[in-house]
Amino acid sequence: MTAPVVSLRQVCKVYGGARPRVALADITFDVARGEFLCVVGPSGAGKTTLLRCLAGLMPPTSGEAMFEGAPLRSVPAGIGVVFQDYGRSLYPWLTVARNVELPLKVRRVRRPERSSRVAEVLASVDLADAGRQYPWQLSGGMQQRVAIARALAYRPDLLLMDEPFASVDAQTRFELEDLILRVREEFGVTVVFVTHDIDESIYLADRVVVLSRSPGAVTEIVDITLPRPRDQIATKSDPAFAGYREHVLGRVMSR
């Protein structure tokens, strides 16, 4: 049994101000290496807050968030993040290739290796030919694939995704779900995926962490033992899938 990539111990987050608001209350769970973990909960459950704590973008008020054995104080080099709003997180003044290349430049990767890695990672998100275009020239789904490529370019150990497919249409969403499953195999990356969509969480995950409405607390952690590789039609029509959905939905709705 290897050490967990992420471990959260009694993490609480309270937003200050005149009327303090508890966003996260006593969150404890581990993420194992290579695991695909989904966090699902209604809006106001502190999902984004949890992800920001996991990314090291924001310190918890109390409790401890650890990444690979070390407490998270800033964003570690081994974490990639895909934000919900690709339009705001991609840099419109850079071409697709330069967006993807930027974290490699920051890490002082040499030029020949940079371009081969950019080509490789763009190919694995099916955007091999889009490098010279600007993000805003692409469709929403393609832009989010650029964001995924950028987060994977520096080969992080952990990929954090904050409702990444919430602003694309349903068809594109299914394609992106399959793409992320494939890419995760290819890069051997651990994934924490935040979503409000219960079907999506069950379809993708090895385990689903169910959060309750504010303050966000872990209601239950559900093991998903559906066979892999998963398939949009076969997996979702599996009676076991319906069982999970009913169960998770029940936990989300419960107060």
Q: In angstroms, rounded to a whole number, what is the distance separating the alpha carbons of residues 84 and 20?
A: 26
Of 63 and 76, CB closest to another protein: 76
* Long-range contacts at 100-107 (CB < 8 A, ≥ 24 apart): 100/131, 100/146, 100/149, 100/150, 100/153, 101/153, 102/150, 103/150, 103/153, 103/154, 104/153, 104/154, 107/77, 107/154
| Residues 31-90, interacting with another protein (CB under 8 A) | 55, 57, 74-75, 77, 79-81, 83, 85, 88-89
Of 88 and 255, CB closest to another protein: 88
Contact letters for another protein, residues 91-110 (x by CB under 8 A) = xxx--------xx--xx---
Of 125 and 224, CB closest to another protein: 125
Q: In angstroms, rounded to a whole number, what is the distance separating the alpha carbons of residues 139 and 106?
A: 27
Of 90 and 209, CB closest to another protein: 90
Question: At closest approach, how far in Å is the CB of 225 from another protein?
Answer: 32
Q: Which of 81, 31, 82, 27 is nearest to 56 (CA)?
A: 81
**Binding positions for another protein, rule: CB under 8 A:** 55, 57, 74-75, 77, 79-81, 83, 85, 88-89, 91-93, 102-103, 106-107, 134, 136-137, 150-151, 154
